[in-house]
Structure 1
Amino acid sequence: MTILTVDDDGYLPATPLPTVVQLADVYDSFVDGAPNRQARDRIYRALAMHLDMLTAEFGPARTWIGGDFISRSMTPPEHVEVVYICRTVADFLRNLKKARFDRVLSLRSVIVGHPRLIGVEDLHPVSGLVHTDQIRPEKLPFEYERLGHIPNLGRAVGFVEVHL
């Protein structure tokens, strides 16, 4: 069991690379004993189920986990941010061709044309509790910056890497 150290605001300190942990360490550090445990536990259960689904659909990979969930902040998190890191561009493209990719990845916009035309913005898996993107290797710097920044906090924070 590893309990990660957080700063005075409850966030992981920013580091040059994500902190590599086991999924159980995420629970021990950011659910058990953290503020708003009930909300955090629900998100964690959604996260664990979702990571199982990602692994079943796409195979094992490095996964970055961040957002307000990766904190012991007094503000209750609404969801968890997940980035599934493909090893190659070919893996990325192959995953998008799979019939069930839409069940495990966030979709920025969806248009359905039958029986009438409707559009949906920001469709996320597991009732919106898990926001998941898959990325190609060359997008790592962009995702590092995105996950390392919490809106309205005004500074960089750390996040974790879990190997599936």
Structure 2
Amino acid sequence: MPLPHWTSDNVLPQGRHPADLSDLYERFVWDAPHRNEREILFSALSGYLGVVTRLIPSGRAWVSGPLTDRTPDVPSDVDVVLLPDEWGTLKRLDGPARAALYGMLTLRGVIAEQPAMYLEQVQPVGGLLDGFLCHPGDEEVWADAWSRGAAPGIRKGFAEVTW
């Protein structure tokens, strides 16, 4: 089912909209300005979801952020929150798989050693994407955050990819 058309505020209509990658491409790359920059962000998103679906057997990804708005500005990144169908599968990940999953998430306030440094934020895919994990019971908090538009007072919709 294709994503709905843009509203007069250049966002998706409010709500969660089921989509697959071809739907995301059609609306967020083909039907928006700055197609070349959007192609790069879409490639980052597509690769990201490919890795995530190998680590998490089934779940949903809510997609929002600058890529999902049709503004005259060049989009800087794409935001994704992962909602695993069964939280227990994450607890059972072995060391390498758990490390791979953590590498797919945005980290804030990171202290690294050798050389010692403080990093305000570490993002997957070279900073093209912010990836988050929704803990059970926090869905409404994330839905509210993903519905906030860039401009004050604007509410928008977001895409939901299921695997």
Give the TM-score normalised by the residue count of structure 2: 0.88
Q: Which residue of 1 aligns with 2:137?
A: 138
Question: CA 1:43 to 1:57, structure 2 compared with 1: closer, same or farther past 3 Å?
Answer: same
The structure 2 residue matched to 1:37, chosen from 29, 35, 47, is 35
Pairing 1:51–2:49 present: yes
Deviation at 1:96, TM superposition (A): 9.7
Question: Percent identity among equivalent residues?
Answer: 27
RMSD: 2.0
User: Aligned AA for 2:29?
Assistant: V
Q: Which residue of 2 aligns with 1:71?
A: 69
String of CA shifts for 1:44-96, please: whole Å, max 9, x gaps. 00000010011112233111001121122222210001010023443454469
Moved beyond 6 Å, runs of 4+: none
Q: Which residue of 1 aligns with 2:11?
A: 11
Q: What SS does the corresponding residue of 1:45 show, helix, strand or coil?
A: helix
Structure 2 distance, partners of 1:144, 1:57, is 23
Q: Which residue of 2 aligns with 1:87?
A: 85
Q: Which residue of 2 aligns with 1:62?
A: 60
Question: CA 1:82 to 1:95, structure 2 compared with 1: closer, same or farther past 3 Å?
Answer: farther
Question: CA 1:95 to 1:132, structure 2 compared with 1: closer, same or farther past 3 Å?
Answer: farther
Q: What SS does the corresponding residue of 1:159 show, helix, strand or coil?
A: strand
Q: Which residue of 2 aligns with 1:99?
A: 99
Question: CA 1:109 to 1:36, structure 2 compared with 1: closer, same or farther past 3 Å?
Answer: same
Structure 2 unmatched ranges of 5 or more: none
**Structure 1 residues 117-126 or 90-99, which shifts more?**
90-99
Structure 2 distance, partners of 1:70, 1:8, is 14
Q: What SS does the corresponding residue of 2:99 show, helix, strand or coil?
A: coil
Give the TM-score normalised by the residue count of structure 1: 0.88
Q: What SS does the corresponding residue of 2:24 show, helix, strand or coil?
A: helix
Structure 2 distance, partners of 1:116, 1:3, is 46
Q: Which residue of 2 aligns with 1:28?
A: 26
User: Aligned AA for 1:68?
Assistant: P
Contact kept? 1:35, 1:72, Cα under 8 Å? yes
Question: CA 1:101 to 1:146, structure 2 compared with 1: closer, same or farther past 3 Å?
Answer: same
Structure 1 unmatched ranges of 5 or more: none
